[in-house]
Every structure is written in structure tokens, then in C-alpha cells.
């Protein structure tokens, strides 16, 4: 069957609310290339939404999955299994000493579990309301709790305001790309005060090392002040590393760029590089507050996903994919900045580190974002678009990518930008974008 035949099936049987990317259907994938059902091969600059860190069709991971399937043990629910034990032992070498880890299935589930730990801590230790502070334009998942604590207002309308207010408040992100002046730590404190939140009622601050909506990083000096303030008031820091963890930013964890150690670390997406598994790591004393059996989940720590995660971690370490992400990130930044400098009136910002980058088109042209995204994909590179203010195209290729892949993908982006500019007769509009830079 052709792509349009599959699209017809989706249109008939699947709600449109699930679909938001252009109509292509994957047929096969290998390394950093994906081939669709019409036989067109594209450079993957989205890693299947930041999942395939070790590349598609990674034989080491596939062999580990097959080996576990051959045992006949592919689900155990509450009962332990060998891969789960081995994964927890291996994962302990990637996190701070004396931290424990609980395994889950999705990033949103892991975020909610981290918030649950923080609120148990608030109830049993701080004896307070357990408010969680998050940042404007943040995103932490699509379950009711993870959505409620997110700072993306457009996705929260269905949650009653009392529920939102009982869980969380949002404060300005210190390096928002569309605000002329960065916010400092005093702005953070003033915002909490303006919302009539008593510091004695705060359980935790949840951060994203970089915001998924724009790839804007939390500044290091702000992060260090935040850590000191949280320590003074016995407030926890949760680092949502679902996107930024597992080497994506050129360091194993995104928080390593920030000069701090969080109290809780949430991992997902790239953890197994192919199958659904996530994790929450936290100080032992925090987990000890939670009753036995309080974090069970039907498929969490299942042997198939655990085997994939073990193989992925070993592959990442053995092949130095974190170091490759840092090295290729330098080339990616140079390539994207060349495009920005060529079309400064159209592209307002290039943000990111490692292999987590975004180009933000000038807000005056955000109506052209979908057209640009569609054109990039048509021309041969897979990308994710949307983000903050509807201006973001993210560039997050597999961590195995090489200079050839970076160059080819960026050439396609540049070609697509040029086509959209010419077709819309934009010309040199540098005077339009000056007010937005």
C-alpha cells in the first residue's frame, strides 16, 4: 500500500487530536535515516521525538530484546526480573551516590511520580501545602498532574483552576527568547510573592535544563542561586530530564550545565532508545518516606524494556555518544547560525547545546511555521515544530549522527527556508525583525 492508503486508514479509525505532523508513514529506519511507505528516505532530525539516541535499528539493542524474548519472560508485573535488577545497578553509576531509582513507563508518569514524592515530603517533613513551582512555557507531560504543573497555558484549559492552583504556580523563565531583558533571581522571588505564596508552603521547584518549547537553557548563575535558596528553605529541586537527559545536550544530564545537583531526576525518552521506559531517581531519604508498594505500575521495569535500556546505556558509553553529541553540536550550531545570518529577518533565534537545538522564526512570520516544517520534511529532513509562540523548529538528531548527516540535514533546512521566503516574496525584511531580536 501507498502512504495515502495508510493515511486514509488513520483518518477513518484514529482521532485527529492524535495527529499533528505531516502525513508521512514510516516503513523502515536505520541509523539516522528513515524511509517512508512511498520509498522516500529522509535524514532524521527528530530522533522519533528525542527517543532514538543510539540510532534506529541499533543491532546491540535489538539483540538484547531478542535474547530476553527467547527466555519467555516478557512481563512480570510486581515480581522482580533479572533485567530490572541489572538496569537499576547500571543506572546507579549514572546518578549521584545514595540515590535510588524507581522505573516507570512514560515521561509524564515519571514526572507525576516525582511530584508525588515531593508532596509526600511536604506532608511528612515540611508539614506544608506542597506547592510546586514551575516556569512559564514549561512542559512536563499530558497527564492531569503533569499538565497542571506545566507552564504552557494553552494545554491546561480543561483542568479546573482549583486543581491547578492546589498543585502549582508558574514564574517567569529567566531566559525567555522573546523578552528583551532576562529575568534574574529577584524576579523569581518577586513573582512568588506577587502570587501570595508563602515560601513555607513550597515543596519543590521543577526545572527543565532547557525548555522543550524553545531549547532555551536555564542560566547557570540563576540555577546556582536557586539551589542555595532551596537549600535554605528545605525545598526540593526536581530536574525534568525526559528530553535533556541521556546525553542529549553533550553531557549525560542537562543539569550538569547548570552547576547544581537536583534532589530528584526524571529520565525517559532516550533511556532505552526505542521502547517505553522512564525513571525517577531521588535521594534515599526521600524514597524512604514513601510506603512500600506506593509506586507500582503494571508494566514498569518489565524485562523487555529494561533489556533495551541496558543495551542502550552500554552502547552510549562504549561508543562515546555523549562526547559525540557535544562535538556534533558545535558543527550544528555553526550550520544553523549560517542560515540565521543569511536570513536574519526571518529567523530570530538559534538556541541550544549539544544535539538539542532550535531555530525560532521571527514572530511576525509564525503563520509560515507549518509551511516551513512541511517543506523541510518534503525536501528530506524530519523535524518537530511548534513550541513557544508557535515559532520553533527543533533539531534533535540521534546522538550517533556524523558530520555528513549534520551537513545534509542543514542544507535541506536552508533550501526549505529559501523556498518559503521566495514563494512568499519576503525579501530582505531586516527592519521588521529588529524589534523582536
Q: Quick check: helix, strand or coil at residue 124?
A: helix
Grid coordinates belonging to 412: 535541506
Q: Where are the alpha helices (DSSP H) in 319-368?
A: 321-342
Q: Which of 50, 49, 32 is closest to 41 using CA atoms?
A: 32
18: number of CA atoms within 13 Å, CB side? 7
d(CA 130, CA 195): 15
Q: What is the pLDDT along the chain (437 residues), one digit of tens a residue?
A: 888 899 899 889 989 888 766 678 999 999 999 999 999 999 999 999 999 999 999 999 999 999 999 999 999 988 999 999 999 999 999 999 999 999 999 999 999 999 999 999 999 999 999 999 999 999 999 999 999 999 988 899 999 999 999 999 999 999 988 777 788 999 999 999 999 999 999 999 999 999 998 999 999 999 999 999 999 999 999 999 999 999 999 999 999 999 999 999 999 999 999 999 999 999 999 999 999 888 888 999 999 999 999 999 999 999 999 999 999 999 999 999 999 999 999 999 999 999 999 999 999 999 999 999 999 999 999 999 988 788 999 999 999 999 999 999 999 999 999 999 999 999 776 544 444 43
Q: Quick check: helix, strand or coil at residue 269?
A: helix
d(CA 65, CA 327): 30
Q: How far is CA 141 from the centre of its chain?
A: 10
The continuous run of DSSP H or E covering 100 comes out as: strand 99-104
d(CA 355, CA 352): 8
> Which residues, including other chains, have CB under 8 Å from residue 353's CB and lie 6 or more apart?
210, 217, 249, 250, 257, 329
d(CA 268, CA 108): 9
Tell me how crowded residue 6 is: count the other CB atoms within 10 A of its CB: 17
Which phi and psi (to 5°) does residue 108 adopt?
Answer: -60, -40
CATH topology of domain 3-54+320-436: 3.90.1150
Domain spans in the chain, listed from the N-terminal domain onward: 3-54+320-436, 61-318
Tell me how crowded residue 434 is: count the other CB atoms within 10 A of its CB: 11
Give the architecture (CATH level 2) of 61-318: 3-Layer(aba) Sandwich (3.40)
Check if the beta carbon of residue 239 is closer than 8 Å to that of residue 254: yes
DSSP state of 210: B
d(CA 240, CA 255): 9
DSSP state of 402: -
Amino acid at each position: 500500500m501507498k502512504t495515502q492508503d495508510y493515511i486514509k486508514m488513520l483518518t477513518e479509525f484514529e482521532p485527529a487530536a492524535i495527529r499533528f505532523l505531516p502525513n508521512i508513514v514510516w516503513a523502515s529506519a536505520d541509523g539516522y535515516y528513515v524511509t517512508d511507505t512511498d520509498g522516500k528516505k529522509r535524514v532524521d532530525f527528530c530522533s522519533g521525538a528525542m527517543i532514538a539516541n543510539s540510532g534506529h535499528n541499533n543491532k546491540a539493542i535489538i539483540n538484547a530484546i531478542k535474547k530476553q524474548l527467547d527466555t519467555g519472560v516478557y512481563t512480570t508485573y510486581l515480581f522482580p526480573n533479572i533485567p530490572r535488577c541489572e538496569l537499576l545497578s547500571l543506572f546507579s553509576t549514572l546518578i549521584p551516590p545514595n540515590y535510588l531509582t524507581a522505573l516507570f513507563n512514560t515521561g509524564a508518569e515519571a514526572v507525576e511520580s516525582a511530584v508525588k514524592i515531593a508532596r509526600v515530603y511536604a506532608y511528612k517533613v515540611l508539614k506544608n501545602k506542597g506547592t510546586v513551582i514551575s516556569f512559564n512555557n514549561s512542559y512536563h507531560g499530558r497527564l492531569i498532574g503533569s499538565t497542571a504543573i506545566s507552564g504552557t497555558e494553552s494545554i491546561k484549559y480543561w483542568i479546573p483552576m482549583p486543581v491547578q492552583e492546589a498543585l502549582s504556580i508558574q514564574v517567569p523563565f529567566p531566559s525567555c527568547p522573546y523578552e528583551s531583558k532576562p529575568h534574574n533571581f529577584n524576579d523569581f522571588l518577586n513573582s512568588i510573592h506577587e502570587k501570595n505564596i508563602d515560601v513555607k508552603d513550597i515543596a519543590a521547584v521543577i526545572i527543565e535544563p532547557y525548555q522543550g518549547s524553545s531549547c532555551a537553557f536555564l542560566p547557570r548563575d540563576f540555577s546556582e542561586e536557586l539551589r542555595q535558596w532551596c537549600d535554605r528553605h528545605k525545598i526540593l529541586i526536581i530536574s525534568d530530564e525526559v528530553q535533556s537527559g541521556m546525553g542529549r545536550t553533550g553531557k549525560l544530564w542537562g543539569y550538569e550545565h547548570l552547576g547544581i545537583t537536583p534532589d530528584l531526576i526524571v529520565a525517559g525518552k532516550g533511556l532505552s532508545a526505542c521502547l517505553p521506559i522512564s525513571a525517577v531517581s531521588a535521594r534515599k531519604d526521600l524514597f524512604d518516606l514513601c510506603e512500600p508498594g506506593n509506586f507500582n505500575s503494571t508494566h514498569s521495569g518489565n524485562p523487555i524494556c529494561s533489556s533495551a535500556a541496558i543495551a542502550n546505556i552500554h552502547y552510549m558509553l562504549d561508543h562515546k555518544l555523549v562526547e559525540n553529541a557535544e562535538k556534533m553540536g558545535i558543527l550544528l550550531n555553526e550550520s544553523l547560525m549560517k542560515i540565521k545570518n543569511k536570513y536574519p529577518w526571518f529567523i530570530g533565534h538559534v538556541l541550544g547545546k549539544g544535539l538539542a537545538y532550535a531555530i525560532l522564526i521571527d514572530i511576525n512570520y509564525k503563520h509560515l511555521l507549518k509551511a516551513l516544517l512541511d517543506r523541510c520534511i518534503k525536501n528530506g529532513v524530519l523535524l518537530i515544530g511548534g513550541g513557544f509562540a508557535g515559532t520553533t523548529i527543533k533539531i534533535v538528531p540521534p546522538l550517533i549522527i556524523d558530520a555528513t548527516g549534520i551537513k545534509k540535514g542543514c542544507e535541506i533546512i536552508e533550501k526549505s527556508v529559501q523556498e518559503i521566503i521566495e514563494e512568499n516574496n519576503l525579501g530582505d525584511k531586516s527592519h521588521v525583525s529588529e524589534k523582536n531580536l
